[in-house]
């Protein structure tokens, strides 16, 4: 089988640009969202069960993403007509929702290949479940891949987003299993003298400090709401 997957962009790369139609109109990506964080995610196909549950979950958490100055953009290798039909079906389900985020028309798969979303061993036409977290200047900060059978954990994506924004705002790093309100990691000493002056039970290269959930909210969420 011919490998049709382009070299995917990596963490630290600028997000590849494209122009496409979507369920919310024409998009120039990521330019239209400059100044905002983006969660750009792909789906194998329209009208599939796992994808449908994810769309509902993303929509139900849109206000939480908005508080973090973040927009959602979906992609499926399908036509705009198919996307619109799928969104209409989701809205008419019991406990259905109106999907407000854009879903990109990528009937040719060109955009999915540009982002390395098509893995030929899995399928040569359907995108895997990819997530790209892109910052306010268009740099890719995190990439996640899920198999077709496993739905994404929206809360984990939100935790990652908050962690990246916290790292930028406070110049810290997050330990394993961090959630907002837990202690964070500060840069280790850079000289022998400062290392020797370190005191405390933790080793010199593993230094924590408290950072409250309220401090994070005040810095990230409130600042994001000021820019709306």
DSSP for residue 180:
B
pLDDT tens figures, 59-96: 999 999 999 999 999 998 889 999 999 999 999 999 89
Annotated domain spans of the chain: 18-152, 163-226
pLDDT tens figures, 92-134: 999 899 999 999 999 888 898 899 887 554 444 455 789 999 9
- Dig out the tokens for 182 from the structure: 């837990």
Q: Reduced to 3 states, what is the DSSP secondary structure of residue 164?
A: helix
127, 44 contact by CB (below 8 A): yes
Highest mean pLDDT among 83-87, 189-193, 207-211: 83-87
Q: Give CA–CA dist 44/216, Å, rounded.
A: 35
- 32-57 mean pLDDT: 94
- 143-169 mean pLDDT: 94
Rounded to the nearest integer, the mean pLDDT of the chain is 88
Q: Give CA–CA dist 67/75, Å, rounded.
A: 23
C-alpha neighbours within 13 Å on the C-beta side of residue 60: 14
Q: Give CA–CA dist 89/199, Å, rounded.
A: 61
Residue 14, pLDDT above cutoff 50: yes
Architecture per CATH, domain 163-226, reads as 2-Layer Sandwich (3.30)
18-152 and 163-226 share one fold: no
Q: Give CA–CA dist 129/57, Å, rounded.
A: 15
Angle (nearest 5°) at CA 134 between 184 and 56:
95
- Say which of 15, 38, 51, 158 is annotated catalytic: 51
Strand extents, DSSP E, 102-202: 103-105, 129-134, 140-146, 184-186
Fold of 18-152: Glutaredoxin (3.40.30)
Q: Is 221 a catalytic residue?
A: no
Residue 8, pLDDT above cutoff 90: no
């Amino acid at each position: 089988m011919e490998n049709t997957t382009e070299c995917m962009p990596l963490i630290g790369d600028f997000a590849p640009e494209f122009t496409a139609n979507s369920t919310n109109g024409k998009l120039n990506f990521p330019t239209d969202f400059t100044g905002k964080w983006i969660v750009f995610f792909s789906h194998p196909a329209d009208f599939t069960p796992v994808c449908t549950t994810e769309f509902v979950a993303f929509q139900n958490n849109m206000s939480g993403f908005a508080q973090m100055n973040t927009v959602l953009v979906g992609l499926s290798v399908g036509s705009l007509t198919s996307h619109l039909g799928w969104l209409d079906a989701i809205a008419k389900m019991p406990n259905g929702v109106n999907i407000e985020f854009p879903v990109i028309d990528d009937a040719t798969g060109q955009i999915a290949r540009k982002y390395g979303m098509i893995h030929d061993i899995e399928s040569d036409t359907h995108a895997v479940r990819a997530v790209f977290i892109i910052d306010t200047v268009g740099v890719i900060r995190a990439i996640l891949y899920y198999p077709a059978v496993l739905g994404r954990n929206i809360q984990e994506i939100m935790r990652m987003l908050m962690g990246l924004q916290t790292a930028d705002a406070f110049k810290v790093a997050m330990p394993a299993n961090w959630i907002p309100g837990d202690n964070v990691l500060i840069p280790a000493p850079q000289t022998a003298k400062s290392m020797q002056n370190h005191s405390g039970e933790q080793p010199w290269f593993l230094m924590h400090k408290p950072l409250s959930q309220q401090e994070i909210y005040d810095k990230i969420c409130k600042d994001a709401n000021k820019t709306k």
